[in-house]
Amino acid sequence: MFGNPPFRDPTNVGEYAFYPWLYNLIVAFLGKILGIFFVVTKVVPILILTLSMLVLYQIARENFNRRVAIVAVLIPLALKFPKAHPRTLLSMVMIPLFYLALFRFSRDRDVKNSVFLGVSWGLAGLTHVLGTFGAGAILLTKTVMDKIKRMKIKYNIVAIAIGVTILLLFWGPLLFVYHAKTPNPYQELVMRHFTLPEFIVSFLTFPLSFSGLKIFLGMLTIPGIILGLIRYRDVFLPSLLGILGAGVLFIVLGDNLVAYKLSSYYFTLNALAILESLNWLSENLKWSKIMPLAVILLMGTSAITVGDYANSP
């Protein structure tokens, strides 16, 4: 906002930026337009929450019972308070946007949906490095699975090509100018203790990572994932296999931090699982009884989320 070029690192003078710059540009743009300095702490969380609600609503409207879409807007805040950080924009907006594109692509393979899928991956990667690795692993896993099933993968290739082209806006200088060597040893100093068994445990238990009243949300996630693997196998299976494979690979390569932060994808997977369970309940029980309970539960957990953040030191 005050003139620091987006390609320059704010910590190491004259060096390439350690973080992708899309989030920073959005914040600076809002600061210029609104003319207020507290745009980061006051405006950005509201923007992230609103966009997250809209994307989850669209996912629910297109893929689940339309009545569930009404409740979908309550899920983001029930799961996570939108902190002003690139990783939050990634987990609450960009990854759900990628899944919106993935659902559409799995339903209709055409140029339009492959372009949307590639663009959503590129935007995720320009927001946070985990957007490059996680969504990329999911897309590559899906492509391999499609090839094994003898499906045509030309549209998969189109999506990958578009995504890589967009990602080069950040990764291009890093790879070809700085030769993938940055002065910031962050990945070597943080989470080195995060081992392969710990990653496997965190991956297998992410639907259970709830406490207090939120444990009722956890009761919806496990059956939701099972239902997802049955009803939307082309979305859920490559997601789980892709994230698991990426985590194992990066720990083997010695970059434990990337494996640890693949947890950014758990927000969307839990949200989709909750939607799956609510969809099943709405189709098999009286929705007039289920909807009020779902609304009360999600509003209650949202209040807990806000309270925990407000009281956090």
Length of the chain: 313
Q: What is the pLDDT of residue 186?
A: 64
Residue 216, strand partner residues: none
CA–CA distance from 302 to each of 58, 103, 160, 220 (Å)? 20, 27, 36, 16
Report H helices in the chain. Answer: 22-34, 44-63, 66-72, 75-79, 86-89, 95-107, 111-127, 129-148, 154-176, 186-189, 196-205, 215-231, 233-253, 256-261, 266-284, 287-310
Residue 13, strand partner residues: none
User: pLDDT digit string (tens) for 182-235?
Assistant: 666 666 677 778 899 999 999 999 988 887 778 888 889 999 999 999 999 999
Identify the CA nearest to 85 among candidates 31, 129, 127, 130: 127
C-alpha span between 25 and 90 (Å, rounded): 14
pLDDT band for position 266 (cuts 50, 70, 90): very high
pTM: 0.93
Residue 16, strand partner residues: 8
Contact 135, 95 (CB under 8 A): yes
pLDDT band for position 41 (cuts 50, 70, 90): confident
Residue 92 has pLDDT above 70, yes or no: yes
C-alpha span between 211 and 216 (Å, rounded): 9
Q: What is the pLDDT of residue 31?
A: 83
Contact 155, 114 (CB under 8 A): yes
Identify the CA nearest to 139 among candidates 166, 106, 107, 167: 106
Q: Phi, psi at residue 274, to the nearest 5°?
A: -65, -40
